[in-house]
Homo-oligomer: A and B are copies of this chain.
């Protein structure tokens, strides 16, 4: 782990220098097309930007306005873009790609992809994933992007390591948010031990929500004869409030209905008002409560139930 902020900045600086070289190498193919690097960048930005104008390109690409004007002229003469008077502002033009422009861009991307393919040809599947995920991480971090729920995948195929990751997630989140002690991770481990040793794909299920290859949420259903137990309902804080919790809950309850369980019960604590409100919204009813001071002082354990 890179520990102090000075090291981090140095790491970033070194990466920038390194990646300047990488990009220089990869951009060479553009020079072999009839376009210059700037022209290619402008073309891409026009394609990616809705209602694109010169001003927007100047801001996004930090390009000189005079230079851009000539670049746009050239692109128009080549038949790659259209310039249309903006109806809302007669000074400005709306820029858009022609179909020829789209084809050109596709060709550029194709070349680019071939080069990237070559660059990663010596890497393993695993390494390529690490690479792509790291790049997504950087972009998301620097653009302050909140994760979009459609980028989060949910699966229930119980891969090796799923249980361990979710144990770790529980421990970290409950420590950070509720200051639970070390033994809490032990109890979660215990619960997964039981789950894994008795695992029956027909009656038990664990859903893992993943983003950028890392687990960000989960929910589980555990077989108890005619009753099912809902367990491990948890989301990383950044992934709350975007509908993921509801989605996980619905998946779990649908599975319970499919399996023909009579009812679903769950244990939770008074620490989790947000989860509790989701349970009651889904129709769960509190059926018992008792004190539990093991993980933290003053916690009340609650049991909820939902008749199916």
Residues of A participating in the B interface, judged by any CB pair closer than 8 Å: 1-2, 5, 7-28, 41, 44, 60-62, 109, 112-113, 116-117, 119-120, 122-123, 127-139, 141-142, 144, 153, 158, 160-172, 174-176, 180, 182-190, 192-197, 199, 210, 212-213
Q: Which residues of chain B are within 8 angstroms of A16 by Cβ–Cβ distance?
A: 22-23, 26, 112, 116
The answer, among B12, B172, B192, for a CB contact under 8 Å with A132, is B12
In the complex, which residue of chain B has the Cβ closest to the Cβ of A22?
B142
Q: Are B172 and A160 in contact (CB under 8 A)?
A: yes
Q: Are B122 and A144 in contact (CB under 8 A)?
A: yes
> With A168-B168, A169-B161, A213-B2 given, is the CB distance from A11 to B136 under 8 Å?
yes
19 examples of A-B residue contacts, CB within 8 angstroms: A1-B129, A1-B213, A2-B129, A8-B132, A9-B117, A12-B135, A13-B109, A15-B139, A23-B23, A24-B62, A131-B141, A134-B134, A160-B168, A160-B175, A160-B184, A161-B169, A163-B171, A167-B189, A189-B189
Q: Interface majority SS on A: helix, strand, loop or mixed? A: helix
- C-alpha gap A142/B161 in the complex (Å): 26
Copies of this polypeptide in the complex: 2
Q: Are B161 and A171 in contact (CB under 8 A)?
A: yes
- C-alpha gap A168/B185 in the complex (Å): 14
Q: Which residues of chain B are within 8 angstroms of A176 by Cβ–Cβ distance?
A: 160
- C-alpha gap A18/B23 in the complex (Å): 11
- C-alpha gap A162/B172 in the complex (Å): 9
Q: Are A116 and B44 in contact (CB under 8 A)?
A: no
Q: Which residues of chain B are within 8 angstroms of A193 by Cβ–Cβ distance?
A: 186-187, 189-190, 193
> With A15-B136, A190-B190 given, is the CB distance from A161 to B172 under 8 Å?
yes
> With A1-B213, A168-B161 given, is the CB distance from A127 to B141 under 8 Å?
yes
CB A147 to nearest CB in B, in angstroms, measures: 13
Q: Are B1 and A113 in contact (CB under 8 A)?
A: no
- Give the one of A116, A180, A199 with max B CB within 10 A: A116
